Amino acid sequence: MVSPKAHAAGAEFDTLCLLVRPRPDLVRVARALEAGVDVAALYRLAADHRVRPRTIEGLGLLSALELPEATKSSVEAFRRLHSVRVLSLVQELRRLGTALASSGVPFATFKGPALAALLYGDTAGREYSDIDLIVQRAHFEGAERTLAALGYRGVQGDRAFRRAFLAHLRQCAFAHPDVDATVDLHWDFRGIHLPFPLSPEDIWEQLEPFAIGGASVPTIGGQNLALLLAGHGTKEAWRSLDWICDFAMLVDRCPDLDWPEIHHRARQRRCGDTVLLACTLAEQLLGTPLPAPLTRPLAASTRVPRLAGALIDELRQGRSPSQLREGVTDLDLCETAGARIRATLTLAVSCTAGDYAALPLPRPLWPLYHAIRPFRLAAKVVGSLAALPKLLRRGPSSHVPPPSYGAGP
- Reported as a single tens digit per residue, the pLDDT across 232-246 is 999 999 999 999 999
- Say what the pTM is: 0.89
Task: Give domain limits for the chain.
Answer: 4-67, 90-220, 329-405
CB atoms within 10 A of CB 337: 11
In the prediction, which pLDDT does 382 show? 67
What percent of the chain has a predicted confidence (pLDDT) above 70? 89
Q: For residue 195, what are the CA distances in angstroms to 146, 191, 273, 335?
A: 30, 8, 12, 9
Q: For residue 293, what are the CA distances in angstroms to 244, 258, 367?
A: 20, 9, 50
pLDDT band at 327; cut points 50, 70, 90 = low
- Assess contact for 129 and 103: CB atoms under 8 A: no
Helices (H) and strands (E) in the chain, counts: 17, 7
**What are the tens digits of pLDDT across the range 245-258?**
999 999 999 999 99
pLDDT band at 377; cut points 50, 70, 90 = confident
Q: Is the dihedral of CA 287, 37, 7, 402 positive or negative?
A: positive
**What are the tens digits of pLDDT across the range 263-286?**
999 999 999 999 999 999 999 999
198 — phi, psi (to 5°)? -125, 130
pLDDT band at 12; cut points 50, 70, 90 = very high
The pLDDT of 372-383, averaged and rounded, is 77
**How would CATH label the architecture of 90-220?**
2-Layer Sandwich (3.30)
Any bridge partners for residue 172, and if so which?
185
In the prediction, which pLDDT does 190 show? 94
